[in-house]
Chain A
Amino acid sequence: ELKVEQNPLFLSMQEGKNYTIYCNYSTTSDRLYWYRQDPGKSLESLFVLLSNGAVKQEGRLMASLDTKARLSTLHITAAVHDLSATYFCAVATGANSKLTFGKGITLSVRP
């Protein structure tokens, strides 16, 4: 059974500082996705990582994938309040693109 782990469940960040959050998973996969969820809202796709060594950047967020270590990182540069949300990673298995989600990390940016 595929397990996807995100730690910690909650992270308080100081505005302007850099942070990295992690997602690790238990079985082989070369497709990993990051989603963002604002309170009471649906999930918004952030990054699609499809191969070992893949790196994607959007604004202050940068995601990378190491399939050998079964690890993805999401790096936050100079945190701002707008980044406060819950971030989920999800790992795909099978041709039907079934996703197994981590429990999510809730980020809160304080002044």
Chain B
Amino acid sequence: GAGVSQSPSNKVTEKGKDVELRCDPISGHTALYWYRQSLGQGLEFLIYFQGNSAPDKSGLPSDRFSAERTGGSVSTLTIQRTQQEDSAVYLCASSPQLRTEAFFGQGTRLTVV
């Protein structure tokens, strides 16, 4: 079956522009995570959605970052006024329920020039 799909695969943007990253989770998965990974580093938690509950936004690094999940399915991560330090791979994952195995997409590599 289809896995977690992220688009675009790569994105190069100019400093100061807004970007929108998309994640299509596995159908039926109620939990959805966004992580950020800088080159050679671990995964930095950004935000978590679970069903219809309010998302946990505690990992968002600044108010330039926001995310939404429409209809409990597709999620978009928006970064406004991008900065060079936003350059990283943004990974999305979904899981069927709390605390179970997470299925990752291939990520979006964002480069801010």
Decide if A and B are genuine partners.
no
A interface, CB within 8 angstroms of B? none
B interface, CB within 8 angstroms of A? none
